Amino acid sequence: MMTEPNATKEDSIQQQIIQAAQQLFQVHGLQKVTMDDVAREIGKRRSSLYYYYKNKEEILDAAIDVEMRCILAELTQAVDAAPNLEEKISAYCMSRLKRSQKTREFYTMVDSGMNAGEMSDYTKVIHTMHTRFRQLEIPLLRKILNFGIETGRLRAMDLKEQDALIFVLLSSIQGFKKEIIVKKSFNNIKPAVSMWIYLILQGFKK
């Protein structure tokens, strides 16, 4: 009975560490923030942080993991609230694109002040996180496709064909993200997303 309160307290401390580090990373960049800074921000000694994380890179990894799960929860909520297949795909795509803007801003601030070698290591970390998130969101996309099949909006597809369509969906979203970055505007993307969804449904309709 004594372990549960302790576990809850440890979770709370980890959350404090992550939140404090996120704020500091965004303001000062990863390279300028020290473990002392994070400890000071939450009113603890630096040595107490090492019980949870070996260094600030581990804290960053944990912060990104929390961010990914928050994004997935938001996407799931948006998809579940949509009444039909078209709106579920649109809700997923638009929520994903809006959230990616905020995430990109976070990454941009974090990498401030890095030299070439540090940037290379950081890029590898971000690539790993990106791959991990893709594995998290694939079940949600599969859920959307199965909904379309069950409601008769899509024809039956085996797992291999579903995987191919999911790859197309994810790759298309990457294309939309690049377009938003180039034009520095989110305003004109929805009509393109609507057309994209129409073409998908035409190609895979029952």
pLDDT at 197 > cutoff 50: yes
Question: Which runs of E-coded beta strand occur in the chain?
Answer: none
pLDDT at 31 > cutoff 50: yes
CATH class of the region 3-203: mainly alpha
For the chain, the residue count is 206
At 109 the pLDDT is 62
What is the maximal distance between C-alpha atoms in the chain? Answer: 62
Kindly list the domain boundaries of the chain, sorted by start residue.
3-203
Specify whether the CB–CB gap between 92 and 144 falls below 8 A. Answer: yes
CA distance 5 to 61: 25
Residue 2's pLDDT band (cuts 50, 70, 90)? very low
Residue 38's pLDDT band (cuts 50, 70, 90)? very high
Residue 3's pLDDT band (cuts 50, 70, 90)? very low
Tokens of 115: 């030299």
**Percentage of the chain modeled with pLDDT above 70:** 86
Mean pLDDT in residue range 90-115 = 77
Per-residue pLDDT tens for 48-60? Answer: 899 999 998 899 8
Specify whether the CB–CB gap between 186 and 97 falls below 8 A. Answer: yes
The neighbour count for residue 57, using CB atoms within 10 Å, is 13
Residue 155's pLDDT band (cuts 50, 70, 90)? very high
Tokens of 71: 């994004």
Residue with more model confidence, 149 or 1: 149
Residue 42's pLDDT band (cuts 50, 70, 90)? very high
How big is the chain by its Cα radius of gyration, in Å? 20
Q: Please provide the DSSP assignment of 117-149 as one string.
A: HHHHHHHHHHHHHHHHHHHHHHHHHHHHHHHHH
Mean pLDDT in residue range 4-14 = 67
Specify whether the CB–CB gap between 180 and 186 falls below 8 A. Answer: yes
**Percentage of the chain modeled with pLDDT above 90:** 46
Tokens of 169: 């969906």
pLDDT at 127 > cutoff 80: no
